[in-house]
Amino acid sequence: MATLRGAFEARGRRARTVGAERTEELLEDLFRGLERRPLDPHLQKRYIEPFRERAGVFPQARSLVVVASPEPPTPVRFRHRGRRIETLLPPQYAHQKDLEEATRILREHLPPGERFEAVRLPLKLLAARSGLGRYGRNRVLFVPGMGSCCHLAAFALSLPPEEETWGPAEPLPRCSSCGLCVARCPSGALGKGWHDFDSSRCLTRHNEETDPLPGWMDPGWHHSLLGCTRCQELCPANRGIWDHPLSPVDFDEEETEGILRASGFEALPGPVRERLADLGLAEDFAPAARNLRLLLG
- Enumerate residues 6+ apart whose C-beta is below 8 A from 221: 186, 187, 203, 228
* Count of alpha carbons within 13 angstroms of residue 27, beta-carbon side: 17
- What is the value of pTM for the model shown? 0.92
What's the mean pLDDT in 155-170? 94
The number of angstroms, rounded, from the C-alpha of 265 to the middle of its chain's C-alpha atoms is 22
- Whether 203 and 197 have beta carbons less than 8 Å apart is answered as no
Strand partners, 18: 64
Mean of pLDDT over the chain: 93
d(CA 202, CA 200): 6
**Does residue 296 or residue 44 have the better pLDDT?**
296
- Enumerate residues 6+ apart whose C-beta is below 8 A from 81: 253
The number of angstroms, rounded, from the C-alpha of 189 to the middle of its chain's C-alpha atoms is 18
Residues 42-71 pLDDT 10s: 888 888 888 877 657 898 999 999 999 999
Residue 57: its pLDDT value, please? 83
Q: Is the pLDDT of residue 135 over 60?
A: yes
- Enumerate residues 6+ apart whose C-beta is below 8 A from 129: 18, 22, 26, 29, 166, 167, 168, 169
d(CA 265, CA 275): 12
- Enumerate residues 6+ apart whose C-beta is below 8 A from 99: 118, 151, 153
The number of angstroms, rounded, from the C-alpha of 52 to the middle of its chain's C-alpha atoms is 21
